[in-house]
Amino acid sequence: MKKNILIIPGDGIGQEVTTWGKQVLETVAQAYGHDFSFDEAIMGHTAIEATGNPLPDETLEKAKASDAILFGAIGHAKYDNDPSAKVRPEQGLLKIRKELGLYANLRPILLFDELLDASSLKPEVLRGTDILFFRELTGDVYFGEKKRNEDNSFASDLMNYHRYEVERIARKAYDAARTRNKRLCSVDKANVLETSRLWREVVQEIAKEYSDVETEHMFIDNAAMQLVKNPKKFDVVLTANLFGDILTDEASQIAGSMGMLASASIGDGTGFFEPIHGSAHDIAGQNKANPLASILSAALMLDIAFGLQEEAKAVTNAVAETLKAGWRTGDIANAETAAHNILGTNEMGAKVLS
C-alpha cells in the first residue's frame, strides 16, 4: 500500500512524541511491505514564531494533499497568560479541523490491564471499561461568532448547532455502536440549552434508524459524575464539541494517564491523528513525555485511515507487551514501579519498536 503521511509535530512535547509515532509507521511499512512516504509541516506556536501564522498556507496545502496526518500537540503558556493576544497557537488547530472538515473526533478509552493501578480510580471500578467517544469537532461554541465590547466590559461566544451537523456525527456514532456493545449515550444539557434540545431531538430521530442500539440521553453534569462513579456503564458516548473536550480529558484518568490516549479526527477528507494530551511545555525537551499516545495514534491511522487492521493490532500489541514487561514512563508509574523500569520518551519508544 502506498501512502503519503504528513507529520505535524506542533508545539512542546509534540516534537518528541511524533518522532516515535513516525518510527512506528516506518517499522510497520517495512515489516508489512507498505510504501509510506513522509513529509513534515509546522503549526501552532512553532509556526507563529517562524511565519506569524499559526496555520501557514503551505501546511494547509500539504495537509489537504496527504493521505493522513500525524499531529503532536499545540499551545504555549505565553499565550495562556495573555488573554488579549490576537494570534494564538490554538487557532491553527481549530482552523485545520474546520478546513479539513474533521467533524468527528473519535477518542477510544483503551484500558491496558497493566495500568489498572496507575489510575486514581479503584481497579474494581475500572476493570472492564471500554468507551468510545464521538466528539463533534467543527461546530458548537468553538466556532460561533465571538464578540468583545470596545471598552472590554462584555464578551460573548455563540454556542450553536445546525441539524445536519448533529445528524452526520450521530450516524457515525450509531454505526460504531453497532459494531460494539450496541449502547449509545448522548450527552447534552437539554434542560437548559436550546442547542442541546435540538441536539437531543435530532439524536432521537436518528435513533429510530438504529433500533438495535439502545439509546440513553444524559445531562453533561450527570455524565461527568457517572464517568468517575461507574465508567463501565458507557459504551459509545456521543457529544458536542465543548462537552466532549471536557469529558474525554476527564476520562483520560480511566486509562491511567493523558499520555495513553490517542484520537482520530475524520470527516470529509484526510484523517487527522493525534494524542489527546497537550504540549506540556513544563516537561518538553526533557525526554520525559510518554510517547505511547502518539504511537497509538499511529495505530488508529493504520486502522481507520488505511483499513490496515492487522498492522494496527500489531502496534497495539507491541504497546501492551511493553507494558506487560514492566516498562513505564513517569506518568504511568506508581509507587510500586521499580526505578530502573521508568523510562524516558526515547527509551520507551525504542522498547515498543523492538
Ligand X SMILES: CC(C)[C@H](C(=O)O)[C@@H](O)C(=O)O
Residues annotated in a binding site for substrate: 97, 107, 135, 221
113 among known catalytic residues: no
Residue 93 touching ligand X (CB under 6 A): yes
* Interacting residues with its own copies between 264 and 303 (CB under 8 A): 278
Which residue type, as a one-letter code, is found at position 271?
Answer: G
- Catalytic entry in 117, 130, 157, 245: 245
Residue 268 touching ligand X (CB under 6 A): no
Three-class DSSP category at 228: helix
Gyration radius (Cα) of the chain, Å: 20
Distance CA 239, CA 161 (A): 12
303 among known catalytic residues: no
CB 284 within 8 A of CB 13: yes
What is the per-residue binding string for its own copies in 202-241, x denoting contact by CB under 8 A?
--x------------x-xxxx-xx-xxxx-----------
First to last CA, the chain: 23
- Catalytic entry in 221, 268, 282, 324: 221
Q: Residues annotated in the binding site for Mg(2+), as ranges?
A: 221, 245, 249
- Catalytic entry in 161, 189, 303, 331: 189
229 among known catalytic residues: no
- Which of 39, 90, 130, 216 is the binder for ligand X (CB under 6 A)? 90
By CB under 8 A, how many residues form the interface with its own copies?
68
Distance CA 331, CA 196 (A): 36
Kindly provide the b/e burial profile for residues 76-85, where b requires at least 16 CB atoms within 10 angstroms of the residue's own CB.
beebeeeeee
221 among known catalytic residues: yes
Q: Strand pairing of 131-136 and 236-239?
A: parallel
CB of 39 to its own copies, least distance (A): 27
Distance CA 70, CA 287 (A): 20
* Interacting residues with ligand X between 173 and 192 (CB under 6 A): 191-192
* Distances 308 to 4, 216, 217, 263, 298 between C-alpha atoms, Å: 15, 32, 34, 17, 11
Residue 245 touching its own copies (CB under 8 A): yes
* Distances 285 to 126, 280, 290 between C-alpha atoms, Å: 33, 10, 12
- CA 276 from chain centre, in angstroms, equals 4
Residue 312 touching its own copies (CB under 8 A): no
164 among known catalytic residues: no
Residues marked active site are found at: 142, 189, 221, 245, 249
Residue numbers at the binding site for its own copies (CB under 8 A) = 75, 79-81, 83-84, 88, 90, 94, 120-122, 125, 141-142, 144, 146-148, 152-164, 189-201, 204, 217, 219-222, 224-225, 227-230, 242, 245-250, 252-253, 258, 278
